[in-house]
Each structure stands twice: as structure tokens, then as C-alpha cells.
Chains A and B, each alone.
Chain A
Amino acid sequence: MNLSSANSPQHPILQKLEQARCHHSQVRDSNITLAHGSGGKAMRDLIEDIFVGSFDNPMLSELEDQARISLASLITFGDRLAFTTDSYIIDPIFFPGGNIGNLAVNGTVNDLAVSGAKPLYLSCAMIIEEGLPVKTLRQVAQSMKTAADVAVVQIVTGDTKVVNRGSADQLFINTTGVGIIRKGISLSAHNLQPGDAVLVNGYLGDHGTAITVARGELALDSTIISDCQPLNSLVETILDICPEIRAMRDATRGGVATVLNEFALSSQVGIKLKESSLPVREEVKGVCELLGLDPFYLANEGKLVVIVPQSKAELVLAAMQAHPAGENACIIGEVIDSPSGVVFMETLFGTERIVDLLVGDQLPRIC
């Protein structure tokens, strides 16, 4: 072959090669291999096909090393930036009510939302264990996109690494998020005042229970599904009607009990709960009775604790109940001035007991 003529840009072979290089090809492998993390063509295909294809937004499609966001567009929403990050590691990665993908989106959206911020942009970094079915990854990415759409946020930058088999468990995801806090809102765990009401937006412990069951080790069977959902719209609704809300937090690991203990310690107040008003599903109670767990410490992925001045409690409650993410909202207790730093529960018997911080994970017990 005459190379010099082949060098001319018009040469049909080169044109073909050039086309192939630029072609946005689909990933055809059935499983992720180390090549997909090597920085070469396989990785580019993976990113373009699965992530850019799924997440589908102009900022990401630029394929720059960073997302570029105009400040002017941001300041229309408020006066402070909220910035958070979280890594998602869950076994199993698919569970009733969700998967690691929508969990990673909703979790970070919620971490932003409970500051009173409007969540806007997310990053997504994936650490993939070699061998993960491409189909699984595609499914996860698509759930992330769906979750982002529901929460009205965009995934605008990302990263992918593939690690040797055994160096990670299927798939880890980190998402970082930014949002804008609206003017005049200042929520903080230090804000609680005696007399405030303690609200939650629905049934407690669904996520923790669904995961325990889905793990299969305990051979339980139930219809409980994770409560994984975005809370930003609910937060927006209640901040609209009550900007005086003192504090909010999503009750993930460690459950509502842990959040309340943190609140009580930060604000140096006591929190008194009513056992009779704690919303827990019968099935969740069943799993808890069988395994000796306390639903109050179980993880949630779509539940928040809201501290509201007493005079606004009913108003906020009604607004929560009118919102799809808060249909079963209720008031579970109140803030009191002493004993300071302590959460306690008025039991069904009118007696009182302390609801302390957990020492470690709750472990299923037989005695």
C-alpha cells in the first residue's frame, strides 16, 4: 500500500478508521473488565454509552473534566451554597423499593434538602468490581437518571474506576451534590427550643427492615419495601409555609433515635417522645420482634425529622400530610428544657425510659 497516498485525509481507509475512533459505540461486553477502567477506548465507550447516554444532559455531554456552572444562574435561588458528599455501599445492590443507584441520588439530594437548600447538581463516581454485568450497571445508571428527574437535579460530572475482583463488592457509588440555600433560612441542630414539636414524615424503619430481609441471611420473607425517596419537594413545601422551622435531618443510619440524640446534645435540651405516636408498620414490628431489634434505630432513606415551633406544628403537619412524601406524617414528641442532652420516651404505660445512642450496629439477637 502506498502510505503517502493513504495519509491523505481523503483516503477511504483513514476515513473509516477515523469514523471508528469517533464512533459512539455501545458497550457490547457482557461484563465489566479492567479495560473499562483503563482510560482507553473501552472506558470511553462505557462512559458515553452508559453514563452520558443515561444521564443525558448538556453539561455532561460536553465531556470536559469538570462541570461548569454559571454563578448568575445559581444566585437566583438563594444566597448560600450547600455542598455535601456521601458514598453508597449496600448489600444487596438491588432491594425491594430501590437499588444503589436511586439510593445514591436520593441520599445526596436529601442531605442537601434538609439544610433548606434547593438541590441542583450532582456528581457521580463509580467504583466497579471487575465482572459486574454491564446490564446491571446500565440498570443502575438508568435508575439514577429516573431518580434525578424526579428530584429535578442533574448529574453533571462523574468518574469511573474498575478494580480487581474482590477489591470491591460489585459496585460502590459516591455522589457529591450542590444546592442553594434560600435567603432567610437557617436550619441547625443547635436551634431547638423547649416547647418545639418533633415531627416525622411517615413510617419508621422500612428501609432497614427491607435490607435485612433482602440480604437473605435470615431467610425472612416479607413485602416491606424501602422508603427510598427524595425529600426536597416536601422540604420546599413546608419551608414555604413555615420558614421558622428550627432543624431538619434525614434519619438514615442509626434511625430517628440517633438524629434526636444529636439534636438534644447540640441544643442542650431534652426531647420527650410518645411511644404511642411512633409510626411503625406491623410487618416492621414483626421483624423487630423476631430479631430483637428496635425500629427506632433502623435506617430510613426517605424520612426526615423536623423540629417546628409549637404554634406552627399543626400547620406543618397538615402540609406534610398533604404531600405524597409525607402522607403518614405525625407529631412524635416535644422538646423540653431538662434533662438536657437526653432523649426519652413516654411508654405506653405512662412510664419513661431513655432512648440512648447505639453503641454499634444493632445485631439480631436471640436473648
Chain B
Amino acid sequence: MKYVTEFRNPAKAQALLTEIRRLSQLLPINSAKPLKIMEICGGHTHSIFKYGLETVLPESIELIHGPGCPVCVMPRGRLDDAITLAEQPDVIFTTFGDAMRVPGSQKSLLQAKAQQADVRMVYSPLDALKIAKENLDKEVIFFGIGFETTAPSTALTILQAKAEGITNFSLFCNHVLVVPALEALLSNPDLQLDGFIGPGHVSAVIGTEPYQIIADKYHKPLVISGFEPLDILQSVWMLLQQFIEGRCEVENQYTRLVNSVGNRVGLEAIAKVFTVRDRFEWRGLGEIVQSGLKIREQYAQFDAEVKFVVPNRQVADAKACQCGEILKGVLKPWQCKVFGTACTPENPIGTCMVSSEGACAAYYKYGRLSILGKPSQPKKSQVSV
């Protein structure tokens, strides 16, 4: 697979790891006081676990798994709203597979489907539009989730719906923005982070420039990274270089896809169809100003929140849930009181356990070996199968 296989080369990874180990020894860090690097994007979290990268990095480098999984940061109230929409008569509710199993306060979309709601999984918003054209007697709602990566696709779909004069299609818009979320994280006094691995596919759309504020105002270096193991390791290496040389910059490892200004067509489509919400609630992080998108008035005929009465439920995160602490890097998943006991992928309490990209689910699914192997971790008895 071109552009993939060459970035999965194990021999090169070994050599890179040796280099990373050498560089890490030049810094005043150790396993008790590690360098804390957050990978913002859930896709990175996934790769890190899939390839077991965390277990081969030196102990003086700790990876913190950030809030970059659109499913994980969806508050329960919004999910309840989505389920309410899905249960309207004559509605076909379309969604990416990711959102199917996420628990709302009462049930998930999958359970709503079992109770008669017409919920269908699609691969692309264009597929949802196609369903609308084939079912003119029904209203087809698309559950728009995702960061700036996914927003162009829904924006372009709405533009196409408008051009084709389609009247039975609408979007329940939950798109969120990366940089405001990072700023919210960085403004938190508890936060203990030294630098970031920046999201690659979001940056393909927005470019590298919007991250400048992270380096300038918050003095944290950030390297935008691809998703293959060599990409991620190289990004760690680039961050180490910055620390050693005392630099604090936004750098781009993923140059084969990402440029400084982003994708013009995608950004224009977003700007045309969407506008920034005053505030949007993030699960585990609370309300963040100017961190979500909504549909502009000119396109209100495609806005499910205008076409339908959306209850706009406010549901607090579960009490036992410590996802916020996990997302801020204050706690590790196994340090949450309910990890692996009351909170498991079958019965997630918190959002980090839901999607396979959530930090807790990733640890539960892939990471138990490293926890089993680390005698210092107290959860041993609870995580054995």
C-alpha cells in the first residue's frame, strides 16, 4: 500500500527508537519526572496502541491521550437529542458507525434502532443524501460529527443538496473545532503537558498556521504528525529536538499531506455553510467557547435543529467518571476508580471507554499487557481476565 507500507518499516522504527532513547538522555527527564507529550488525535492514540509504541518508548517519555475523538467528546445530552430525532415518525436517521454504540443517558442509537427507530449506518454523508433522494416521503437526517476533517464533507453535501433542490435532507450538526479545545485544555491550571503531537488529517484541512497560538501564547511545541508508526516516532523525535535546542515551534512532519494554509475548497465550503457557535459542550471538558459549528441561516432548511424541535437536553457527566482528568492528562486510565470494573467497553460509564480511540478503551483493549507487566500499577487483580 503506497504511502502506508513504507511508513511501517520495523527496522527503521528500531533505529529511530535508538535515536529517541539517545536524545531523551540529553534531557533532564526520567521515569519519575517524565516528559509529557499529548497526542491530541484519537487516530494517533489508535496507532500508538495498535503498534504498541507506548511500550517501546523510553520510560522518561509519557504519552497522554488527548480529546481528539469526536465520538468521545460528544456530551450525553447531544446524544439524547440525536436519539429523539431518530425516533420521530417518518425519519431515517443516518450516522457513521462510530456513533451507533455511544450511550446517551437512557440508550444508544443501536438500542433505539432495536426499538423501531429507522437508524442507518453510512460511510459518507453523500450516501445519506442518496438515501434522501430514494425516500422522498421520509426526512433523512444525517448525524454530523467530527472535527474540521469531516466538516468539509458535510458542508459540500449540503451545498449539493441545495443545488439539487432536495427538501427532505437535514443535518444534525455537532462538528467541533480543534484549536479552541486545545486552548481550553491549556488554560487549565492542573494541566501537566510539555508538548503536542498535532492532528494530521484535521491539519490537511486547516493547515499548520492555526496552531501558531499554541507555541506563541502557551509556549508549547507542537508537531503535526502522520498516522503510521514511523510518522509518530519521527514526531516524537522532532519534539525532543525542539526541547534540546530550546525551541518552541509548530512543525510539520506530515508534509506529504499537510501544508501551511490548508485546503482552500474545504475551508471555503465550511465557511459558506457553517458558522461558529458561541459555545459548545464537550464531554469531560465542559462548555468551551467558540468550539463548535452550526449551520448558517441561509441553509436553515437543512438544519435539523431548525426543522425539528430538539429538546436540547443538558445531562451532566456520570459522577464516577473521571474522563475530564484523563483528557487533561492528570490521571492515567487505570487510575480511575471504575476502570475495568464498573466501566468497561460493554458498559461504558465515561466517554473515554466508548470508542476504540478513547484512552480508556484503548488501554482496556490493547494496553492490559503493559499494565499487567507493570507491578507498580495497582489494578492487576481487576484487569486479569
Contacts and interface: CB of A to CB of B under 8 A. Distances in A.
A344 interface: yes
Contacts of B52: 347, 349, 351-353
Interface range, B side? 35 or more
Given A286-B1, A349-B10, A363 B56 contact: no
Contacts of A21: none
Q: How large is the interface on A (under 10, 10 to 19, 20 to 34, 35 or more residues)?
A: 20 to 34
Contacts, number: 103
A3 interface: no
B180 to A, nearest CB: 19
Interface in A121-140: none
A367 B1 contact: no
B121 A363 contact: yes
A350 to B, nearest CB: 7
A17 interface: no
Contacts of B127: 217-219
B37 interface: no
B123 A291 contact: yes
Contacts of A356: 364-366
A92 interface: no
Given A349-B52, A363-B101, A354 B146 contact: no
Contacts of B121: 217, 363-364
A289 B4 contact: yes
Given A351-B51, A354-B367, A282 B10 contact: no
B355 A353 contact: no
Contacts of B69: 367
B311 interface: no
Contact of B13 (A291, A349, A359, A367): A349
A349 B101 contact: no
Contact of A363 (B51, B98, B345): B98
B161 to A, nearest CB: 18
B213 to A, nearest CB: 24
Contacts of A363: 97-98, 100-101, 121
Contact of B366 (A286, A289, A354): A354
23 contacts: A219-B123, A265-B385, A282-B1, A339-B369, A339-B372, A339-B384, A349-B10, A349-B52, A349-B229, A351-B52, A352-B55, A353-B51, A353-B52, A353-B366, A354-B366, A354-B367, A359-B101, A359-B346, A363-B98, A364-B121, A364-B123, A366-B123, A367-B71
Given A217-B120, A356-B366, A365-B355, 19 more contacts: A217-B123, A219-B124, A286-B1, A289-B4, A291-B97, A339-B384, A342-B369, A349-B56, A353-B50, A353-B367, A354-B366, A359-B101, A364-B97, A364-B123, A365-B96, A366-B98, A366-B123, A367-B70, A367-B71
